[in-house]
Amino acid sequence: MSGYTLDISLTVNGERLNAHVEPRKTLVDFLRDDLSLTGSHVGCEHGVCGACTVRVNGAIVRGCLMLAVQCDGATVETIEGLSDSGEVADLQKAFERRNALQCGYCTPGMIATVQDLLKRGGVPGREEIREHISGNYCRCTGYHAIVDAVEAVAQARARTQMKK
């Protein structure tokens, strides 16, 4: 059965594409190995660490707990897409400015997860930010700087919104 593939058609970062995938290939392996989108990281591969977090049909999911064949017809957005569109540019700058990363392994998943919180609007409290990133491990920063960065961006976005 190894080598048996199925045809899928999906949109990744705005680009429509067709692929043949083995059923056992997870979404994150498909993105990294077949599409060379290596921004989504592979950490624990059982849903605990959050390094593989990507958006499927607008909702964040674990790239390691979804099969590529399940994404037939889906719209997938990775950190590459979020970066290129500028959607998370302010978060990326704030992470850098506040040392909210050291090794950077968790950062793509972390950015996707906090953007999911911030795009709901409003300024979440620090507790709410912590709760939202509770499924994303960072072994370097101790999270404090990450919460600082997210809080700063939330406040800045709220100020921009008020001026409009």
Partner 1 sequence: MKPAPFAYKKARSVEEAVALLGQHKDARLLAGGQSLIATLNMRLSTPSLLIDINGISGLDGIAHKGGTVEIGALTRHAAAERSETIAQHAPLIARAMPHIGHVAIRNRGTLGGSIAFADPAAELPACLLALDGELEATGPKGKRTIKADDFFKGLFETALGPQDVLTAIRVPAAGKDTRVGFAELARRHGDYAIVGLAASARTTGKGLSDVRLAFFGVGATALRARKSEATLVDGDVDAAISALDLAPNDDVQVTGAVKKHLAGVLLRRVAKQLMEARP
Binding region for partner 1 (CB under 8 A): 1-2, 4, 6, 22-26, 29, 45-47, 50, 53, 59-62, 64-67, 69-70, 113, 116-117, 130-132, 134-136
We find the least distance from the C-beta atom of residue 59 to partner 1, in angstroms, to be 4
The Cα–Cα gap between 44 and 113 comes to: 17
We find the least distance from the C-beta atom of residue 135 to partner 1, in angstroms, to be 3
> What angle, rounded to 10 degrees, do the helices at 107-118 and 89-97 form?
120
Q: Which letter, b or e, does each residue of 118-145 get, where b requires 16 or more Cβ atoms within 10 Å of its Cβ?
A: beeeeebeeeebeebbeebbbebbebeb
We find the least distance from the C-beta atom of residue 41 to partner 1, in angstroms, to be 14
We find the least distance from the C-beta atom of residue 32 to partner 1, in angstroms, to be 11
Q: Are 67 and 76 in contact (CB under 8 A)?
A: no
The token duo for 38 is 């290596």
CB-nearer residue toward partner 1: 72 or 151: 72
CB-nearer residue toward partner 1: 22 or 87: 22
